[in-house]
Amino acid sequence: MSEANASATRITPGNALRPEDIALEVRTGLVKPSEDVAEYALRLGDDALILAQRLGHWISRAPELEEDIALGNIALDQLGHARSFLTYAGAGMLNEDGTAKSEDDLAYFRREHEFRSVQLFEQPNGDFAETIARQFVVSYYQYELYRRLTESTDATLAAIAAKAVKEVDYHRDHSTQWVLRLAGGTEESRTRMIHGLRTMWPYVNELFQDDELTQRLAEAGAAVAPSSLKEDFDRLVAGVLTEAELEVPDVPAAPGGGRQGRHSEHLGYILAEMQVLAREHPGASW
Amino acid sequence: MSPHGNPETPASGAVEINREAPKASPALEQSAQPEHHDRGAWGLWEVFVRSSRGLSHVHAGSLHAPDAAMALRNARDLYTRRNEGVSIWVVPADAIAASDPDSKGSFFESPQGKDYRHATYYTKSEGVKHL
């Protein structure tokens, strides 16, 4: 699409919105998030970015070639969501030279305490069952979140969510199928599935914590209050676990704090691997 | 469907069991399909995809999956990544009966010289319209 044809906004829920479309509208001044909305978009973008990086590690390491591609697809979907959210977030944040921050500025040139992702997303892949457990929780959380965010009064957030929710619906199905199969497979697979769920469950609580930012935005109708997702999440997740003859793990919640930049020891290693090339060769492209 | 171990460390010896199992005889070993040695319960499925142009389902390729539901999902990931399809069929590969490539002659060449099986063989009578 040339810039000349771009006078009409592409940011509508019916459109398959690309990060480039958002970047273009940011440059031409058609969209600019408020400070609050930019911070909110940063949170959702960081979640998706860190998960994409985690899932990408499975490529060439999954149990089967077919599963390798499935996890790679999910990783790429998440990366797409991250790019859109971060592009939009960056439009509300300035570099030292006064230009808006790009998705790359945000992904590659922030430090650990500046990331706003919740701690579940940075948890190690572990074995296949742990990855499935993490994906299972994430997918049901993201689905409920994006489904509601399509109604946001902020048109860009609504459009990103409208594209993402269809993809996350498939992630939900993928992880559900695997929870059922691992739980109903062999004694070994069942043991690992139970272990995976117990490993990830301490980080579930953090997903549903409201704070001042989400309260302000939710009142304005721009964002979704995290606490409002919990009822549907609990019901749907419990439904799958019951079908799998598993129990919702009864484990104490981790302290959380990812939205304020407090992370588990794992995030630093993820960032080191993700950022090293961009920092070594700033502005490089191919 | 055996869950493998931590991706950062090699999988345990569990998947190697088939390979190490003693073979009954060299003849049997030869007749066994090599790809089934490691793959345990994951069978081979043939995938048919119908494109959005409203044509019939066309064979797209094959894949491994533990069951039909997962085969459909794997097919979605492998063969419809670039908007190729609106409908997918998956069929267990061993449910397909195939013609023998070696009997191609007797199977497919006998119609040669039987031009009367084509409508073009017949001359059109004069004055016939709308043919």
> Is B6's Cβ below 8 Å from some Cβ in A?
yes
For residue A15, what pLDDT band results from cuts at 50, 70 and 90? low
Of A79, A206, A185, A210, nearest to A132 by C-alpha is A185
DSSP characters over B59-104: EEEEEEESSHHHHHHHHHHHHSTTS--SEEEEEEGGG-----GGGH
For residue A12, what pLDDT band results from cuts at 50, 70 and 90? low
Alpha-carbon distances of A210 from A115, A121, A206, A226, A251, rounded to whole Å: 18, 18, 9, 6, 21
3 state SS of B43: strand
Nearest residue, CB atoms, A57 vs list B5, B7, B64: B7
Residue A82: its H or E element:
helix A65-90
Nearest residue, CB atoms, B7 vs list A61, A173, A185: A61
Contact call for A66 and B65, based on CB within 8 A = yes
A139 vs B contacts (CB less than 8 Å) = none
Least confident of A71-80, A116-125, A239-248, B77-86: B77-86
A126 vs B contacts (CB less than 8 Å) = 6
For residue A199, what pLDDT band results from cuts at 50, 70 and 90? very high
Give the highest mean pLDDT range of A33-37, A280-284, B24-28, B78-82. Answer: A33-37
Position with higher pLDDT, A284 vs A67:
A67
pLDDT at residue A140 tops 80: yes
> Is A66's Cβ below 8 Å from some Cβ in B?
yes
Nearest residue, CB atoms, B3 vs list A66, A73, A192: A192
> Is B3's Cβ below 8 Å from some Cβ in A?
yes
Contact call for B1 and A189, based on CB within 8 A = yes
- For A181, which residue in chain B has the nearest alpha carbon? B1
Cα–Cα distance, B74 to A175 (Å, whole number) = 13
Q: What is the mean pLDDT of chain A?
A: 93
A270 vs B contacts (CB less than 8 Å) = none
pTM, two decimals, is 0.82
Of A17, A219, A44, nearest to A115 by C-alpha is A44
Sequence-distant (≥ 6) Cβ neighbours of residue A73 within 8 angstroms: B77, B81
Contact call for B73 and A70, based on CB within 8 A = yes
Contact call for A66 and B64, based on CB within 8 A = yes
Nearest residue, CB atoms, B7 vs list A58, A69, A129: A58
For residue A13, what pLDDT band results from cuts at 50, 70 and 90? low
Q: What ipTM is given for this predicted complex?
A: 0.77
Contact call for B7 and A63, based on CB within 8 A = no
pLDDT at residue A130 tops 60: yes
Smallest Cα distance from A65 to chain B, Å: 8
Residue percentage of chain A with pLDDT more than 70:
95
> Is B36's Cβ below 8 Å from some Cβ in A?
no
Cβ burial of B40 (10 Å; 0-12, 13-18, 19+) is middle
Pairing relationship of beta strands B43-50 and B87-92 according to DSSP bridges: antiparallel
> Is B42's Cβ below 8 Å from some Cβ in A?
yes
> Is B5's Cβ below 8 Å from some Cβ in A?
yes
> Is A64's Cβ below 8 Å from some Cβ in B?
yes
One pLDDT digit (tens) per residue for chain B, 131 residues: 444 444 444 343 333 333 333 334 444 334 434 444 454 678 999 999 998 767 899 999 999 999 999 999 999 999 988 777 889 999 999 999 988 888 877 787 777 777 777 777 777 788 888 76
Of A212, A194, A57, nearest to A122 by C-alpha is A57
Nearest residue, CB atoms, A70 vs list B3, B66, B74: B74
Position with higher pLDDT, A104 vs A3:
A104
